[in-house]
Structure 1
Amino acid sequence: MLKKIKKKIKSILGKKSKKKVEENATSKNAPPRKRAAKKKAAKQPSTGNKNTNKKSAPKKTDPKKRASKKRGSKNSASDNGASKKRASKKTFFKHSRKVNDPEAKQEAKKYDNPVASRTLLLDTIKEEGMMTQSSVFKALNVREDQEEGVSRRLSAMVRDGQLVQNRRGGYLPVDEKHLIKGHVIAHADGFGFLVPDEGGDDLFLSAKQMRGVLHGDHAVATVAGVDRRGRLEGSIISVVERANSTLVGRLFNDDGIAYVVPDNKRITQNIMIPADMLGDASSDQIVKVEITSQPTRRKQMVGKVIDVIGEHMAPGMEIEMAIHNHGIPYEFPDAVTAQANNFGASVKDKDKEGRLDLRDLSLVTIDGADARDFDDAVYCEPSKNGWKLIVAIADVAHYVDIGSPLDVEGYERATSVYFPGRVIPMLPEALSNGLCSINPDVDRLCMVCEMFVNKQGEIESYDFKEAVMRSHARLTYTQVSEALEGEGTGEIASDIYPHIVNLNDMYQALDGARTARGTIEFDTTETVINFTDDKRIESIRPSTRNDAHKIIEECMISANVCAAKFIAKSKNPCLYRVHEDPTDEKIQDLRGFLSDLDLKLGEPSRKIVSSDYAELSAVIKEREDFHMIQTLMLRSMKQAVYMSENSGHFGLALTHYAHFTSPIRRYPDLLVHRALKHIVRKRAKSDYMYSAERMAQMGEHCSDNERRANEATRDAEFALKCEYMLDKIGNSYDAKVTGVVQFGLFVELSEHFVEGLIHITNLPKDYYVFDPKTHQLVGENRGITFGLNDKIRIKVSRVNMDERKIDFELISEH
């Protein structure tokens, strides 16, 4: 059989060789006229394709003529019928087809010398496969005066992630199946993941792949294989957009070589600082660095020091570093400050005209003792079938016009950021603590929600109005709670106290309705950090939540619900506060865990509802493992976000919900106020300020900035707690397990509410296996188990300020 195959191959090769000899002979024996024509064609510029026959060219030829012959010519005498047939149809199509740009008219309107649109370029590259810049020029008949424009457009498409450019300069469309575009999520241990923009499984990025990218970068990768854990492995093709232009870190200088170690632990590469880029910075200071050269697989980052933040371990440095690490704007531009200051300190008489006058109504503010900005005031009186509740909210929208410097900066920040002992406001203090803050005994502009609540805690009717008001008292939660619990009026004036009693009576009805509809209640502990005069932590204590907190919370929820329904009726685009239902996968995991404890969550035959969670919470309240089960219930639910489409609020068991009550510190609330004003003033729908698409973008932006603020606050708090524990190394404390992972236990100290890690190597000797279903570490040899909410005794063994880590050792189990 093998001999037959070899014989067949020799026969084919022999025929090809014979054919070539015949073609050469035919070329040589051609009549003089044809040979002359052939020579003439060789001298002319080539218009043919690469596949034209070029075997008859003499060996010694001028380089230019030889190049011309290699390109070939349609007029060549040696192009017989067979060679014409063999000419590349694809290449001929590229060079000769009529170009039809679907966006030619739009391009002509925008530019004097229009070039190929992005759509045409993308369609062409998709159709033809990988193309270089020159092949794009040829395929689309790009003129010489258009080449620079097309080149820039191709580069912009690479930048925007529509195309990817390989090492040879070829362009490929990103939406090819083997290419995935997404954001890089880095891990402190050096590896990372690419989270696809279009959803689907994440790609694992090895430490080698992570050398050329940083946390947050937008990149294009291809699937390189599957690792030993069964995860898809990615290989970075190109970086579409860099997420980090500046970084904050600690400056080191080793033997004349300066570098900065980023404080963000997700960024594991150091930044090299040339000697002439150090500025006034010195070793061991905390500095801000501008990245002048982004990392590649072969080169480290290079940067220059642009700001010295302060000395390492200086008081308050933890908050400063959190602000810079998360890119939180902390200084207002001059134009913003100037606009805020121009309004003055008091409300102008002309601004009060045409508004409902509520200055004689006993509206009061109830806030924390350390509050500085007052968004809301409340008033309650009995009515025929229940109560009339008035919630007055500072009219920030009156001062912050759309597109003004205040509006642009407010949107950029999207929220105030509350650090321990420090606030980064969304709006300048001239407004947030001044003209828009409902301070006592001064006139203030407000948006009012008037509600009638029946004795069953249901809102029967509501309305919104623009008003002017005057707060009759600035009360604290403690004052209100003590007055309601005591026999007298406490520190509350006698003329104000009856209205507080009305509020409490109405709250009891609202609370009953809340329970009836199945609102989820979780028992969580929040902490308050107390500082010394030199900004060091003095103590960490749990915050207390009394009935006064609950009264105000129910008033605000009621107003938020009414605002959402009022806007939904108008069908104008706005932002809703949406808490979506848990995913089926999360519910199944939770039910699997609960089944081992003889507990259940709702009926598997129907859709899960919030009352199912509420019922389970009531059942487990007296159990010893209550906190463990509650933690898993919390983890099964999604995070609330801002969306332009109303999907209800799962946790509160509400069909409509929006944020209306805090426009001083939340931009979504400001958008809600603008929507309400548009309706109250009976403006035409066609005159509405925002499109649905724009509102959806704003929702994503505000949700992202809310998460950024929470992460920055959490980082600052943990850094402060690390510093607080420095002088407590060697001390022993009672603690409880708050998290179980493969490599150990996360535990929280009962006394100081500080969390740290007991590494698996510091547990009693055994071979531990992590059970993700029960969230336990189980010792296979001795049967020792550790699970959520286990009570233990620990010793503080190590505190690492640079890595933000606190390590504990297990002393005993309770």
Structure 2
Amino acid sequence: MKKTNTRRPQGLPTKDELVRFLRDAGEAEKSDIARAFGLKGQERRQLRDMLRELEGEGKLGKRGRKGFSEAGALPPAGVADVVERDADGDLYVRLVKAGSDAPLARLAPDRNEKAAGAPGLGDRLLVRFERVGDAVEARLIKKLGQSAHRILGVIRKSKREIRVEPVDRKAKDVLLISEHEARDRDLKDGDIVLAELAGRPTRYGPKPGRILEVVGREDQPRAASLIAVHSHGLPTGFSEAAEAEAAAAQPPTLKGREDLRKIPLITIDPADARDHDDAVYAEPDDDPKNKGGWIVWVAIADVAAYVRVGSALDREAKDKGNSTYFPDRVEPMLPHALSSNLCSLREGEDRACLAVRMVFDKQGKKTGHTFVRGLMRSAAKVSYEQAQAAIDGQPDDTTGPILDPILKPLWAAYRTMLVGRERRSPLAIETLERKIKLNEAGEVVSIEPRRSLEAHRLIEEMMIQANVSAAETLEQKKSPLIYRVHDAPSQEKIFNLADFLGTIGLRWNKGEPPKTARFNELLDQTRDGPHGDIVNEVVLRTQMQAIYSPDNVGHFGLNLDRYAHFTSPIRRYADLIVHRGLIRALGLGSDGLTDKEISQLEAISEHIVMTERRSMAAERDANDRYVAAFLADRTGAMFTGRITGVTRFGLFVRLDETGADGLVPVRDLGDEFFIHDDRAHALVGQRTGKRWTLGRMVDVRLLEATPITGGLLFEMISEPAPADPNAPRPRLGVRDRAGPPRGKHRPGGPKPGKAGAKKGKRR
């Protein structure tokens, strides 16, 4: 825990003063205590006696390397297991070495950009303990993997024993289950179970365990999302109280609302969308002072009207933080009675909304905006593909009647807004997303690239401008809010980028402040050349991660001074907070942001950052498992891919066909040692100088696909690139050395064993 710098009175302390000192200090040696109180000679001997008495009274902990601490006190840092979750969704950890009698500490939500995913129940963490008032909080330093205290795994039966093998690729602990318990629970090979450590573990071999719950089967088509939900501790379902509140919700009326039903707002969403939380409309501005300008309406579902502060719905929405999306299911933030009904802007039905009317000039600059709390009626529900096809000259029965009066004005307004966007120059990194398609049985039938349409960009830009308007209004009203912030790249990341660009003959001034326009210039310069993909990848890795915060640092990626999430309150708690802020600031009702919420904005921000990371990690893990299941019957097949990660232990390759990521172990890359040149993102042969570099296209063979963990293992087919005569040969350090295992590529040497399929981190 952090040590206090509070000045203390000199002289021998009382016992209570001594305990308070140790509570603040965390741990202290006798000499430190004596120095703090200015004790000398006889007073030091009296201090020694006092410490012995306090130990005898049980008020001091056992002496450690650093001396004395208050009984039950936690060290400044340590390894802890996540063992509990309270009704508010807060996680609690217990120090591993202290056993079951150790006090619990609340885990403060993590805002560390480098944290490896959001923690969940059963995770083992390295944490720092800090005193906050009278309580102690744990702050994440590093996620160490899944704890043996509680483990999600698969039953593996053999003639000799029954094991629980973890589904987490990072976990190393295997639990041994007794035959008696296996019979009582009718455990079968392939059962997915939640288990915990039982009794004292042996020094070697598997640890004894007991089954807490059988959660499914590994051969079920939908096992991937089931495992992700449990392994990341995602809250699922809703309490009876929350369901009852949702069921009791009534359709909206005009009371306290402006009638917007004559405005032909429409929803444009994915074809398979179940909820529709935003609608748009555009028309030319008839103000003669704004010739060539446009009026753009963005209406958002008024979730705040149904999810009231302090209700069961509110508590559980906050606990979840956001909806989580898997290929086969959605874990919604709100019950379906709201998310798919009263809060969904259904075609032809009256719906409560919070809408913003924005005015743009002919140069695409927003010159003003107004928020209203209204009652709307969607004029049409169309998909992105339908809207795009209509604009491209292929309208259907739905889009034909609205093409001229609604769709064409929307596109004309967007193209005007695009002038302003291009002048702003947001970061133009290219990313390729893929959609996993399942059949009715839940089996993967295809993995296809998501098409990027102009219709997507139209909705994106209109939502961005609505989000900016929300932040501007709340700032103008001096109302606290939760911003969506994206910090500029750190100096360290910029230096690393400059070093890398130097290895491919490109220049970047390290003293130049990072600007999106400069990044875009680099991307445009290299996009069509041999280094386009690798530069795009490295620029992406140079960026920080966006978070929620009550403190505004702007949004670097969008190149905006202020930005808040307003447009998706059905699926993001941050947006609901912003809605409540607008309602309070503009006097639009009695259900706005409360004083208590305002006092908790920092804690709420930290919590929803954690839930967002948790959902992202769960979604990524589920997708990895679905992809591994899809490729499992193609073992031995050859694929083309791109090197997306270079490490000391191997290369990560992303397949062109499916976007799947897998590992080529360094031992399979040739008959020499390789040096990891992190500056050039390359593995360089120590003897020949041959190179494996980030971004290079390669051919690989699939060796292993493990659906239960999502791991893929590849064999490299391509040859390394020749040595670069102009590149300096990197020096070999202890952390840089890589190479084949003992015996590999030596005459008569043993064949290499199979490596565990690992996978690179994605940002």
Range with bigger deviation, 405-414 or 502-511 = 502-511
Shift in alpha-carbon separation, 1:136–1:718, aligned structure 2, 3 A: farther
Whether 1:483 and 2:393 are equivalent positions in the alignment is no
Whether 1:181 and 2:87 are equivalent positions in the alignment is no
Contact 1:183 1:197 in 2 (8 A): no
Residue 560 of structure 1: aligned partner = 467
1:304 partner amino acid: R
Residue 57 of structure 1: aligned partner = none
Whether 1:451 and 2:338 are equivalent positions in the alignment is no
Shift in alpha-carbon separation, 1:418–1:254, aligned structure 2, 3 A: same
Shift in alpha-carbon separation, 1:169–1:332, aligned structure 2, 3 A: farther
Shift of 1:758: 1.9
SS in 2 for 1:725: helix
2:231 to 325, 331, 334: 325
2:505 to 598, 605, 609: 598
CA distance in 1, matches of 2:155, 2:64: 35
Residue 154 of structure 2: aligned partner = 250
SS in 2 for 1:630: helix
Residue 405 of structure 1: aligned partner = 312
2:430 partner amino acid: D
Residue 36 of structure 2: aligned partner = none
Shift of 1:271: 2.8
Shift in alpha-carbon separation, 1:485–1:127, aligned structure 2, 3 A: same
Range with bigger deviation, 434-443 or 308-317 = 308-317
CA distance in 1, matches of 2:28, 2:717: 64
Shift of 1:275: 5.5
Shift in alpha-carbon separation, 1:125–1:803, aligned structure 2, 3 A: closer
Normalised TM-score (structure 1): 0.72
Contact 1:284 1:312 in 2 (8 A): no
Shift of 1:497: 3.4
Q: Give unpaired runs (5+ residues) of structure 1.
A: 1-92, 102-115, 155-163, 187-191, 203-212, 222-238
CA distance in 1, matches of 2:410, 2:529: 34
Residue 574 of structure 1: aligned partner = 481
2:124 partner amino acid: H
Contact 1:216 1:244 in 2 (8 A): no
Whether 1:499 and 2:401 are equivalent positions in the alignment is no
Shift in alpha-carbon separation, 1:348–1:285, aligned structure 2, 3 A: same
Q: Percent identity?
A: 31
Shift of 1:294: 8.6
Larger radius of gyration between Structure 1 and Structure 2 = 1
1:334 to 208, 216, 240: 240
Map 1:254-333 onto structure 2 (within 5 A): 257-274=161-178, 278=182, 279-291=184-196, 302-333=208-239
Residue 655 of structure 1: aligned partner = 561
Shift in alpha-carbon separation, 1:541–1:775, aligned structure 2, 3 A: same
CA distance in 2, matches of 1:142, 1:774: 59
Shift in alpha-carbon separation, 1:269–1:652, aligned structure 2, 3 A: same
Whether 1:428 and 2:335 are equivalent positions in the alignment is yes
Residue 517 of structure 2: aligned partner = 611
Shift in alpha-carbon separation, 1:410–1:656, aligned structure 2, 3 A: same
Whether 1:702 and 2:608 are equivalent positions in the alignment is yes
CA distance in 2, matches of 1:123, 1:281: 52
Map 1:83-94 onto structure 2 (within 5 A): none
Shift in alpha-carbon separation, 1:729–1:605, aligned structure 2, 3 A: closer
Contact 1:181 1:196 in 2 (8 A): no
Residue 380 of structure 1: aligned partner = 282
Shift of 1:457: 0.9
Contact 2:75 2:129 in 1 (8 A): yes
Shift of 1:529: 0.9
CA distance in 1, matches of 2:53, 2:302: 59
2:683 partner amino acid: L
Instruction: Give CA deviations for 1:488-533 in whole Å, capped at 9, x if unaligned.
Output: 6774142453321111112112222222122111111100111122
SS in 1 for 2:699: strand
Instruction: Give CA deviations for 1:105-132 in whole Å, capped at 9, x if unaligned.
Output: xxxxxxxxxxx9856754697585799x
Residue 256 of structure 2: aligned partner = 354
Contact 1:663 1:670 in 2 (8 A): yes
Whether 1:172 and 2:69 are equivalent positions in the alignment is yes
SS in 2 for 1:369: coil
Residue 570 of structure 2: aligned partner = 664
SS in 1 for 2:484: strand
Range with bigger deviation, 323-332 or 675-684 = 675-684
SS in 1 for 2:600: helix
CA distance in 2, matches of 1:165, 1:504: 72
Whether 1:512 and 2:419 are equivalent positions in the alignment is yes
Residue 216 of structure 1: aligned partner = 125
Shift in alpha-carbon separation, 1:487–1:311, aligned structure 2, 3 A: closer
Normalised TM-score (structure 2): 0.77
CA distance in 1, matches of 2:48, 2:549: 41
Shift of 1:701: 0.8
Range with bigger deviation, 495-504 or 621-630 = 495-504
Instruction: Give CA deviations for 1:573-606 in whole Å, capped at 9, x if unaligned.
Output: 22110000111011011011112333234x5444
Shift of 1:265: 2.5
1:267 partner amino acid: A
**How many matched pairs?**
646
2:484 partner amino acid: R
Shift of 1:700: 0.9
Shift in alpha-carbon separation, 1:770–1:648, aligned structure 2, 3 A: same
Shift in alpha-carbon separation, 1:759–1:509, aligned structure 2, 3 A: same
Contact 1:130 1:171 in 2 (8 A): no
2:300 partner amino acid: I
SS in 2 for 1:812: coil
Contact 2:485 2:549 in 1 (8 A): yes
SS in 2 for 1:580: coil
Whether 1:369 and 2:276 are equivalent positions in the alignment is no
Shift of 1:536: 1.2
Range with bigger deviation, 459-468 or 295-304 = 295-304
Root-mean-square deviation (CA), in Å?
Answer: 3.9
CA distance in 2, matches of 1:169, 1:127: 6
Shift in alpha-carbon separation, 1:459–1:358, aligned structure 2, 3 A: same
Residue 595 of structure 2: aligned partner = 689
1:642 partner amino acid: Y
Shift of 1:683: 8.5
Contact 1:483 1:491 in 2 (8 A): no
SS in 1 for 2:360: strand
CA distance in 1, matches of 2:269, 2:593: 37
Contact 2:198 2:210 in 1 (8 A): no
Shift in alpha-carbon separation, 1:786–1:446, aligned structure 2, 3 A: same
Residue 381 of structure 2: aligned partner = 474
1:714 partner amino acid: R
CA distance in 1, matches of 2:368, 2:229: 44
Shift in alpha-carbon separation, 1:686–1:518, aligned structure 2, 3 A: closer
Contact 2:320 2:333 in 1 (8 A): yes
Range with bigger deviation, 367-376 or 569-578 = 569-578
Range with bigger deviation, 740-749 or 319-328 = 740-749
2:532 to 595, 615, 626: 626
**Structure with bigger RCO (C-alpha 8 Å, 6+ apart):** 2
Shift of 1:288: 3.5
Shift of 1:262: 2.0
Shift of 1:296: 7.5
Shift of 1:759: 2.0
Contact 1:563 1:658 in 2 (8 A): yes
CA distance in 1, matches of 2:75, 2:212: 37
CA distance in 2, matches of 1:779, 1:99: 65
Residue 758 of structure 2: aligned partner = none
